[in-house]
Structure 1
C-alpha cells in the first residue's frame, strides 16, 4: 500500500530537466514561455541605430499605449522597468525636503519599502489578513498627515490575491486627497477573474490615482527593463520633473512596441500559463502542498511541517530556483510542462512519507494513510485498523501519537460531526481525573507554565509603581497562572498594588450552575490572596468570547488594565470561517479598552489556513514534538499521562485532523501570523525585562528545551523544534 507514489505515476524517474542540468528559474516571475518572435526581429533591425540617443520620453510607445488603453499620450510616463517609476514616485512625493511617508502592505512586492528606506523615508507595511486581503480599518489607522504614497499591488505579489473594482473603490474613497495611491498592475494581463479591478478604467474618477504596468511579465521583456505609469496630467507633470529625458534605451522601446503589436503571442502566453497553473494546482493538491488561488503567473506554496528554507535549499540543490516569501511560504513561477514535471518529481521525493519519517515507520504510515483518506476514504478505512493495531504494540511517543492520529483519521473517514468537537471541555472522564491530569501537565512540564511565567513577569514589569491593577483574563480556566503572579506581587517591597481580576470562560454545560467552575476558581484565588496579605477582588463572566462585548465591563479608569489570553484566542473563528473575523473583533475590543499590556500565549503551529493534507503534516510535526516532551518528562505508566495525551492533546488532534469549517475549533496560528494580526489591529511589541535565563531557571528546563527570543517575547523549542510562543504587546499609538 502506497497511495502517495501513485500520485505522480506519469512522472519519469529520470527527468529530461535532470539530464540537461538546466535550472528551472521559478524565482522571479519572468515569462518562462519566452518572448515574441516579432520582438527578436525588431531588435535585430534596430541594432544598426544604437549609436544614437533613444526617442525622448518614448513618444512612439506612449502613443501606442494611449491608443490601446483609451487615454492620452501625455497621461503616460515610460520608465526603465516599473522599478524606476517606483523610485521616481518616492523621490517626487516623499523626498527629504517634503518629509513624506510611504504606506504599503505585507506580504507584497518589497521594492516599495526598499526604495523608500534607501532614501531614508519612513515606510509602514500593513499586514494582510489571514486570507491575504487588505484590512481597510488597519489602513485608515495607519494614515498620518505625512502619508504621501500608498502602494497597492493588484493582483498582489506573492499571494496572487486581488481587489475587486468595488474593493479598490473602497480603498480609494477612504484615503485623503493628499495621499497618492499607486496601484501596481504588473500581472494584470494574467487576470481571469471577471471582477478584478482595472485601475486604468478608474483614473478619471480619482485624481490621486497612479497605475503602474510592465512589459517584464506577460510580454516577456524582463531583461530590457521597460514599464509605464498612467495617471492624470497633473501627476504626470510632477513625475516628469524628476525623470531624465533619455531614461529608456531605444532597444527597449523597439522591443515594447513589437511586443504590444503581437497579440497572438500574448494570447499564447496567457493560455499556456493558465493551463500550466491548472495542472500544477491539481498535482500539488494531491501531493499535500498548500497553494492559494492566484491571478498571476505564480503560486504561493506552503508544504506544512516544512520550513521554506528546507524546501528552497532542497530544490536549489536540484537546480530549481524558487523565491522564499517568508519562513513558511515559497513563491513559484508557472513554467512549461517539462519544468513543472521536474519540480513535482523533486517535491514528491522530498515530501514522501518514507523520507519525512525515515526512522519512524508508524508516522510514515500515518502520512501515507492521510493521502488515502483524501482521495479514497473507503479504502483508507480498511487500513486504519492495521495502523491502530501496530500503534498499540509500539512503546514510546511514536506508538501513542500514531494511536491519536489513527483515531482522528478514522473519524474523518466516517465524516462524523459529533458534539465532541475536540476541544478540552468535551470529555467522558470525571472532573477529578481531568484536574489531576492538568495539574501534572502544569507542574511536570513547561508546556503551560512557560506562557504563564513569561506573562506574569511581563505584567509585573508593566505595573511597577501602579497603585491599582485590573487583570482581565480571557479564558481563565482554573486560574493557576494567578497563584504565581500573586506571589510575585506579594514580594514587592513597600506598598503593593490593589488587584482586581475578572475571569472570562465558557459556561460549564455539565453543571446546573454554568458558572460553578468560575466561582470555585475565584474562591481559591481569594483564599490565596488573603494568605499573602493582598488586597484582591474577583468577578467572573461565564460566556464564549465571541458572544461577549468587552466594552460592557465596568473598569475603573483609575486602575491600570492588563489583558491576558493564554491558549484561548485560537478557538475563535477568523475570516477563513466566517465574517466578521472574531479574532480581530476581540482584539479590536481589547485595543479600545486601551490596556497597559496584552499578554498572549499560543501554540506555534499552523492549523488554521492549511487544507487537510498540509495540515496533517504540520500537526503531526507539532504533536509528535509534544508527545516526545511527555515521553521524556513523565513516567510511562503514569495514569495522568494517558489522560494528557489521549484526552487533552488527543482531542485537539481529533479536531485538527477530522473537522472542517466552524466545527474545527483548534485553529492554531504560527507566531508570525499572530504578530501580523496584532500589528494590523493596532498593537506593537512591548518592551520587557523578562530574560531567557530567568525563565530557564524558574522552569528548571530540561537540556533539550531552548528559548528563542523574538521582538515580542520568546518561543519554547524542544530539540530545536518550536512548540509554543509567549508574547507581550502594547498599543502602537
Structure 2
C-alpha cells in the first residue's frame, strides 16, 4: 500500500477543507506593481499608526528573547480600555486562531456548533475541525429592510437544541456587512441556556456607528457564557502582525489558557498593539476616512444602478443579481482585486473593501 497521510489523519480532519485566503497577493504585487488595487482582504489602506511602527521597530532589537507569554503591558491596557479585569483576556495569533480554538475546547462529536448562514467562513471550519455537528440557521431574507442576508437571531433561538454547546455570531458580519442591535443581542442571550457559550466576533467592532449598535463587551458581567473576540487587523491596520484577543468570564479564559500556546504573540506585535491603543487620533481618523469613502462608494454605485447591502464595516457587498464570476475576472484583468463570494453560497455577489481613495477610484472607474 502506498503512503497516504490523509488516511492517517483524524476523521474530522479528513473531511475538512482548508480556508480559502483568496488570490496570491504577493505574486500579484510583482505582476501588477503599483497599479494593483487590493480590495479583497478588508485591510485598512491608511496603513499602521506611526506610533505602532515606531514601537515595532524598537521591539526588533529584543527579538532574540522570547516574548512576554502573558502580553502583560498590552493586557493591562486593554483591560483598562474595556473595563474588564486582566484575567478576562486571552490573546491569539489573530482572532481566527481564537475562533478555531474555541471549538477545539468546547465542541465535539456530542457538542454541536450553531452559526448563521452567510456568517464568517471560519465558523463552520472550526466546527468541522472539532468533529462537531454544525447547525446552520438560514439568514434573514434579501428583502429584509435593515439586515438583508444578516443573522436571524429569533430563528437561531428557535433552533436551539440540547446538544448545542457553542454559538458563533459576527457583529458586524463578514461578508454581508450587516449587523444586529445591542437590544436584539440582549434578547437573544436571555433565550440561550447558561451552559451554551455565545461567541460574538467583533473583528470590525471599531467601525460601529449605526444607532442601536454597540459592543457586546458591556454584557459580559451579566452573561458568563458570553465571549467577545476582537482584532488588531482591521481598523488598527496590523493585519500583518497577526494579533487578536477575546474577552470572557475569567473562568472561561482560564479554561482557554490550557490550550493556548505559551508564546503565540510575538514581541513586535505586542509592542505595536500596545502603542496603537494610545493613538486615539489615528483610530478616529481611520474610522472617519472609512465612513466617508464607504458612503461615497455606496452613493456612486447606487447612482449607476448597483445594489449594495448596508454595511458597518470597511467593505461593501455588491449584489449583482447574477453570477458575479465574469465581472470579478474582468476586474482582475485590470489589476483590481475584489473577493467573489461563491464560497459563501453567494455567487451573485462581490465583496469590495474600502481602500484608499485612489484604489476606490480605480475600482469605480474600472467597473
Structure 1 and Structure 2 fold alike (TM over 0.5): yes
8 A contact 1:163–1:197 mirrored in 2: no
Q: Which runs of 5+ in 1 are unaligned?
A: 1-18, 348-733
Q: Paired residue for 2:364, among 344, 350, 357? A: 344
Matches within 5 A, 1:608-627: none
Q: Deviation at 1:345?
A: 1.1
CA distance in 2, matches of 1:115, 1:153: 14
Secondary structure at the residue paired with 1:57? Answer: coil
Q: Deviation at 1:321?
A: 1.2
Question: In structure 2, what is the equivalent of residue 105 of structure 1?
Answer: 116
Q: Deviation at 1:22?
A: 2.6
Compare relative contact order (CA 8 Å, sep 6+) and give the higher one, 1 or 2. 2
Q: Which runs of 5+ in 2 are unaligned?
A: 1-31, 142-147
Deviation per CA, 1:381-409: give whole Å up to 9, x if none: xxxxxxxxxxxxxxxxxxxxxxxxxxxxx
Deviation per CA, 1:185-221: give whole Å up to 9, x if none: 1111111113103200111111100000000000000
CA distance in 1, matches of 2:118, 2:188: 18
Deviation per CA, 1:446-466: give whole Å up to 9, x if none: xxxxxxxxxxxxxxxxxxxxx
Q: Deviation at 1:340?
A: 1.1
Question: In structure 2, what is the equivalent of residue 119 of structure 1?
Answer: 130
Deviation per CA, 1:639-687: give whole Å up to 9, x if none: xxxxxxxxxxxxxxxxxxxxxxxxxxxxxxxxxxxxxxxxxxxxxxxxx
Q: Deviation at 1:95?
A: 4.0
Q: Paired residue for 1:154, among 167, 171, 180? A: 171
1:36–1:21 Cα change, 3 Å: closer
8 A contact 1:150–1:180 mirrored in 2: yes
Matched, 1:286 2:286: no
Question: In structure 1, what is the equivalent of residue 7 of structure 2?
Answer: none
Matched, 1:311 2:346: no
Secondary structure at the residue paired with 1:30? Answer: coil
1:133–1:87 Cα change, 3 Å: closer
Question: In structure 2, what is the equivalent of residue 381 of structure 1?
Answer: none
Secondary structure at the residue paired with 2:221? Answer: helix
Deviation per CA, 1:83-120: give whole Å up to 9, x if none: 11112211110145xx2111111211100111221232
8 A contact 1:288–1:303 mirrored in 2: no
Q: Paired residue for 2:180, among 163, 188, 191? A: 163
8 A contact 2:112–2:133 mirrored in 1: yes
Secondary structure at the residue paired with 1:103? Answer: strand
Q: Paired residue for 1:222, among 228, 239, 246? A: 239
Q: Deviation at 1:133?
A: 3.7
Secondary structure at the residue paired with 2:104? Answer: helix
CA distance in 1, matches of 2:282, 2:355: 16
Secondary structure at the residue paired with 2:199? Answer: strand
Q: Paired residue for 1:35, among 48, 53, 56? A: 48
The two structures have a TM-score, normalised by structure 2, of: 0.86
CA distance in 2, matches of 1:137, 1:250: 43
Matched, 1:89 2:84: no
Q: Deviation at 1:263?
A: 1.2
Moved more, 207-216 or 245-254: 245-254
CA distance in 1, matches of 2:223, 2:239: 30
Secondary structure at the residue paired with 1:148? Answer: strand
CA distance in 2, matches of 1:222, 1:229: 16
Q: Deviation at 1:316?
A: 1.0
CA distance in 1, matches of 2:56, 2:65: 15
Q: Deviation at 1:23?
A: 1.7
Question: In structure 2, what is the equivalent of residue 193 of structure 1?
Answer: 210
CA distance in 1, matches of 2:108, 2:268: 31
Secondary structure at the residue paired with 2:101? Answer: helix
Q: Deviation at 1:132?
A: 2.5
Deviation per CA, 1:60-94: give whole Å up to 9, x if none: 11100011111111111111110111122111101
Secondary structure at the residue paired with 1:204? Answer: coil
8 A contact 2:40–2:351 mirrored in 1: yes
Q: Deviation at 1:166?
A: 1.0
Deviation per CA, 1:233-292: give whole Å up to 9, x if none: 111111112112211111111111111111111111111111111111111011111001
8 A contact 2:94–2:243 mirrored in 1: yes
Matches within 5 A, 1:587-598: none
Deviation per CA, 1:475-510: give whole Å up to 9, x if none: xxxxxxxxxxxxxxxxxxxxxxxxxxxxxxxxxxxx
Question: In structure 2, what is the equivalent of residue 235 of structure 1?
Answer: 252
Of the two, which has the highest radius of gyration? 1
Q: Paired residue for 1:205, among 222, 230, 238? A: 222
8 A contact 2:167–2:196 mirrored in 1: yes
Secondary structure at the residue paired with 1:217? Answer: coil
The two structures have a TM-score, normalised by structure 1, of: 0.44
CA distance in 2, matches of 1:109, 1:133: 11
1:20–1:79 Cα change, 3 Å: closer
Secondary structure at the residue paired with 2:289? Answer: helix
CA distance in 1, matches of 2:310, 2:100: 30
Higher helix share: 1
Question: In structure 2, what is the equivalent of residue 323 of structure 1?
Answer: 339
8 A contact 2:118–2:150 mirrored in 1: no
Deviation per CA, 1:559-579: give whole Å up to 9, x if none: xxxxxxxxxxxxxxxxxxxxx
Cα RMSD after superposing both structures: 1.6
Secondary structure at the residue paired with 1:125? Answer: strand
Question: In structure 2, what is the equivalent of residue 44 of structure 1?
Answer: 57
Q: Deviation at 1:225?
A: 0.4
Deviation per CA, 1:412-448: give whole Å up to 9, x if none: xxxxxxxxxxxxxxxxxxxxxxxxxxxxxxxxxxxxx
Q: Deviation at 1:21?
A: 4.9
